[in-house]
């Protein structure tokens, strides 16, 4: 394997891990908020963080940004909503 390719894999894994952990935490925190209307806002923030993470990975790997894989950016928010219903 080429060194540049390995560096891209490592950078992509770090971006996804950090962003999805943060997005998942925000989604789970939406269940503990006592303010009315905070839950949809926090779940939206979680979705945006997931989307930005996927866009970042696509840019790191020099791939086109618009792809059906961007749907996976909502995965942390959907998981957080499902767990905390």
What local confidence, expressed as pLDDT, does residue 36 receive? Answer: 84
pLDDT at 59: 96
pTM of the model: 0.88
Report CA torsion sign: 15, 18, 21, 22: negative
How far is Cα 69 from Cα 11, in angstroms, rounded to an integer? 18
Q: Where are the domains of the chain?
A: 3-83
Please write the tens of the pLDDT for every residue from 38-69. Answer: 999 999 999 999 999 999 999 999 999 999 98
Contacts of residue 50, defined as CB under 8 A and 6 or more positions apart, other chains included, come to 19, 20, 23, 72, 73, 74, 75, 76, 77
């Amino acid at each position: 394997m080429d060194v540049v390719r390995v560096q891209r894999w490592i950078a992509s894994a770090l971006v996804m891990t950090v962003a999805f952990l943060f997005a998942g935490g925000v989604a789970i925190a939406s269940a503990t908020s006592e303010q009315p209307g905070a839950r949809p806002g926090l779940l939206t923030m979680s979705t945006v963080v997931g989307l930005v993470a996927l866009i970042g990975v696509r840019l790191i790997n020099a791939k086109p940004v618009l792809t059906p894989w961007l749907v996976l950016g909502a995965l942390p928010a959907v998981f957080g909503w499902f767990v905390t219903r």
